[in-house]
Structure 1
Amino acid sequence: MGDNLAAGKKHFWNKKPKKELTVDDITIVDRKMLRRAVGAAALGNAMEWFDFGVYSYLAVTIGKIFFPGASQAAQLIATFGAFSAAFLVRPIGGLFFGPLGDRIGRQKVLAITMIMMAIGTFCIGLIPSYASIGILAPILLLTARLVQGFSTGGEYGGAATFIAEYSTDKRRGFMGSWLEFGTLGGYLLGAGLVTGMTAAMSTETLMSWGWRVPFFIAAPLGLFGLYVRLKLEETPAFQKHMEEQDKREHEKPPIGVWQMLRKYQAQMLKCIGLVLLFNVSNYMLTSYMPSYLTGILGMSELSGLLLVLVVMFVMMPLTLFWGHWNDHLGRRPVIALGAIGLLIFALPCFWLIGTGNLLWVFVGLMMLGIIHTCFSGTMPSALPSLFATDVRYSALAIGFNISVSLFGGTTPLMTAWLVEKSGNVMMPAWYLMGAAVIGLITVFFMRESARKPLHGSAPAVASEAEAESLIKKIKLRRQQKNH
């Protein structure tokens, strides 16, 4: 362990300065269980983003099926309106699943959200078209999206918490980055499937029944994800927290939601600011760009789909790259680097995209994707570190989903509306720059969490030898401080 890690233990060990430290006071992470936990959490996120990839890449088709008669721009806005509506109920899902995860455990709640997401996605494929049942069709589409949004309210915060609490302090950034690796993998699977179908099917076949196929695939994916999550054990940090809570049950009752919001007000604002930066960039690239390229710039659907697909593929290893390096460089510098990158390059990127030349469009998209990996590789470890173990799931689920609902998920709708009203195709770039400014302000007030224990939790290491080495370093520091 480095000096940063030892320094990061102060808030934990200073609570009991007279206690002689032992290996039992330190969490030794089971590597096999850690790999299973990371895989199960990433799989659920992949399931969520499989749906996003399918919905985003089929946005133009869905608009024609559920909102016929409107102009192409109006269809796009209506489709993204249904997309954004799901985000309005995400905070409600966070309020429901977050406290539940802090009360009954992370693993149980993540199993529930997994199956709910699969059901909501599967049901979209069952909805008849507007031509068959009229106005009831978009209403049912909205209902299915609301089910998805409610369940997703407990998904990301729980998955990030699950991985963070299972990881060692030295590698929490890298292990957390696998969550976003799953995000990109799920998106690629959904988007790649739609791209292949678009190339293989005629427009009539795709409009008739082909568009339903990707949504039906959610059922077996969801069942597999549920099976994997049910096989997991609860996180070590949560198990220790519950043991301590049982001992002091009559002395100190669990903190309520409103008490938590008041106590962690500053951290909640930081969470909202970071998530705003992360998700405006995310949804701009993954959800809005495919439709921007085809609906606004007039590129062929297949060309637009393939370009974004290739960018997503390149982003996957880069996300793990930044996951590794934020454990060494720190979370703050990496996030700040991405925010500064957006400020400098957002306008040039959209100028390149606006040329319509395939090469320059690809370069512009790739630059945006590379910048975004600074966030995708870092946020899954930075966000859980803001909150203590007893409220981590609740606070992260609520803060994350408030920010996503207000700023992230509405990004496709807002940018489509701004472009339509202003006639300025550069509006998405200005939107990204605004998010970058807010992100930089938030990073300034953040505390560094790399290579440090989670707030309120014991240090976590990979072996007993590492734990003994850490104890010796802490004892040595105490002796040096006393003299």
Structure 2
Amino acid sequence: MSSESGAAPAEPEPAGGEAEVDEAAVRKAVIASAMGNCIEWFDFGVFSAGVMTAIIGEVFFPEDSAGSATLRSFALIAAAFLARPFGGLFFGPMGDKLGRKRVLATTIILMSGATFVIGILPSYAVIGIAAPLVLLAVRLIQGFSTGGEYGGAATMIAEYAPTNKRGFYGSFLELGTLVGYILGAGLVLLMTVVLGDDAMREWGWRIPFLVALPLGVVGLYVRTRIEDTPTFQKMEESGKKAASPLKETLRHWKRRILLLIGIVFLLNIADYTMLTFMPSYLIDYLDYDDTTSQLVTIGVEAVMILFIVPLGALSDRIGRKPLLITAAIGFFLLSWPAFALMQTGDTLGVLGGYAIIGGLLVLMLAVIGSTFPAIFPTNVRYGAFAIGYNISTSLFGGTTAVVVGSLISVTDSNYVPAFYLMLAAAVAFVPILKIPETARVPIDRVGNEDAPELEGSGAK
């Protein structure tokens, strides 16, 4: 049997020792993992807040530079994603060789430290052309460390969680995404209201970036207080670690990586359209003010938080694929109506359109933390996940705001985001159908050659 095959979703026997799962240890691992995602998206919440994108573009670039201040900031967001595949290639296989815990302790401090540095950088008025160049370098460091963060955090939770609760616990990873974004965007909104526009542009914009460092220190402390995953320890004790995880990954798991890239294409277009592009979309194209834009975004995400964990738990009962298929079909059929509602200019219409996109997105967010790690075996899980996820994120996630914003400028059509989402949904539908359903498969049996054939995986 090829190593592309995995384990069947038939009723499994408990994986080694799973009946004796330490729930307290699982909860610690979930918190430690979700904190990194929270810090990553805290940065995005700060950076992509409508008022902040304009301020960053003005502070670090000359006034006569080409393009709007907002587009310049979006370009900086996209630049960070260039480094993510390299971070995945570096940290992912390292996590398969040295363990999840050690690598995640490194990535969280790199991420939070780089975000902190942005808050102390001199402006273009002080150091000239060096300002955007140094900012670009810091963003590349952020992207490099983030490339090793998400795959490891998802792997950590998936390998700690008991089989029958992997969807439930996995959903907390993306709960960290939403909480981090709300904290970042909410802090920017609060400071803008309290300080006023002038003070915010002069010095107040720095404070949200400075907050990232203490968050990272707390996250590092939590991560150093947990053991490596039982699944990794079991593999290490049995002597089944890959001698060269990167070589093993690229030799045997290219097909699964391609399937992952296709699904993450839709995930990223939806995620970064809503959380990065939409706040500025409401301001620049629908003529909403900064405060209303942020309140709408934060409000929709707060509602998403209420549903993400119950949906993760639901996937433990009905499987991950039904939720992913529903999301793909929904994005294909409902993206245009959602943006049509936003064009009405009515606040309820904007909220309704936003809610449609958010509702479809949360169907994916609820299950990706339990789905993606489970399509690879333990000895290459971190690396294969990190490589596939970050290649797709680099190509399609960080570029979403720039691509969509530029196409709107060229076509003069506010429906460009809808068409992009529909395209992504069409692309992702096929790989969603082809990945294995692993909802009831113990994580240490996934992808193993001695496991039964996957039903409906398309792998032979």
Specify the code of the residue in structure 2 equivalent to 1:218: A
Query: Per-residue CA shift, 1:270-309, capped at 9, x if unaligned?
Result: 1111211111110100000011111222211111111101
Determine the C-alpha separation between the residues in 2 that align with 1:358 and 1:200. 25
1:335, 1:443 within 8 Å by CA — same for their partners in 2?
A: yes
1:392 to 374, 381, 384: 381
Matched, 1:193 2:187: yes
What residue number does 1:178 align with? 172
Specify the code of the residue in structure 1 equivalent to 2:224: L
1:383, 1:396 within 8 Å by CA — same for their partners in 2?
A: yes
Matched, 1:29 2:21: yes
Matched, 1:112 2:106: yes
Report the 3-state secondary structure (helix = DSSP H, G, I; strand = E; otherwise coil) of the residue aligned with 1:153: helix
Determine the C-alpha separation between the residues in 2 that align with 1:70 and 1:193. 30
1:174, 1:320 within 8 Å by CA — same for their partners in 2?
A: yes
2:127 to 133, 137, 160: 133
1:386, 1:455 within 8 Å by CA — same for their partners in 2?
A: no
Determine the C-alpha separation between the residues in 2 that align with 1:284 and 1:293. 12
What residue number does 1:467 align with? none
What residue number does 2:307 align with? 318
User: What is the aligned-residue identity percentage?
Assistant: 44
Deviation, 1:61, is 1.7
Q: Against the structure 1 CA distance between its residues 420 and 6, is the aligned structure 2 distance closer, same or farther, given a 3 Å change threshold?
A: closer
Specify the code of the residue in structure 2 equivalent to 1:7: A
Q: How does 1:291-440 map to 2 (within 5 A)?
A: 291-440=280-429
Matched, 1:50 2:32: no
TM-score (norm 1): 0.88
What residue number does 1:477 align with? none
1:60, 1:291 within 8 Å by CA — same for their partners in 2?
A: no
Q: How does 1:203-242 map to 2 (within 5 A)?
A: 203-242=197-236
Matched, 1:81 2:75: yes
The 10-residue stretch of structure 1 (346-355 or 208-217) with the greater mean CA deviation from structure 2: 346-355
Report the 3-state secondary structure (helix = DSSP H, G, I; strand = E; otherwise coil) of the residue aligned with 1:154: helix
1:26, 1:458 within 8 Å by CA — same for their partners in 2?
A: no
Q: How does 1:141-290 map to 2 (within 5 A)?
A: 141-245=135-239, 254-290=243-279
Deviation, 1:85, is 0.6
Q: How does 1:54-73 map to 2 (within 5 A)?
A: 54-57=46-49, 58-70=52-64
1:276, 1:435 within 8 Å by CA — same for their partners in 2?
A: yes
1:25, 1:458 within 8 Å by CA — same for their partners in 2?
A: no
Determine the C-alpha separation between the residues in 1 that align with 2:345 and 2:380. 48
Residues paired across the two proteins, number? 441
Determine the C-alpha separation between the residues in 1 that align with 2:189 and 2:244. 48
Q: Against the structure 1 CA distance between its residues 136 and 408, is the aligned structure 2 distance closer, same or farther, given a 3 Å change threshold?
A: same
TM-score (norm 2): 0.92
Determine the C-alpha separation between the residues in 1 that align with 2:192 and 2:18. 53
Q: Against the structure 1 CA distance between its residues 24 and 286, is the aligned structure 2 distance closer, same or farther, given a 3 Å change threshold?
A: closer
Determine the C-alpha separation between the residues in 2 that align with 1:319 and 1:72. 41
Q: CA RMSD in A?
A: 2.1
1:299, 1:356 within 8 Å by CA — same for their partners in 2?
A: no
Specify the code of the residue in structure 1 equivalent to 2:435: M
Determine the C-alpha separation between the residues in 1 that align with 2:409 and 2:355. 25
Determine the C-alpha separation between the residues in 1 that align with 2:358 and 2:255. 30
2:86, 2:147 within 8 Å by CA — same for their partners in 1?
A: yes
Determine the C-alpha separation between the residues in 2 that align with 1:131 and 1:341. 47
Determine the C-alpha separation between the residues in 2 that align with 1:156 and 1:320. 18
2:269, 2:397 within 8 Å by CA — same for their partners in 1?
A: yes
Determine the C-alpha separation between the residues in 1 that align with 2:189 and 2:26. 34
1:110, 1:159 within 8 Å by CA — same for their partners in 2?
A: yes
Deviation, 1:363, is 1.1
Determine the C-alpha separation between the residues in 2 that align with 1:290 and 1:438. 26
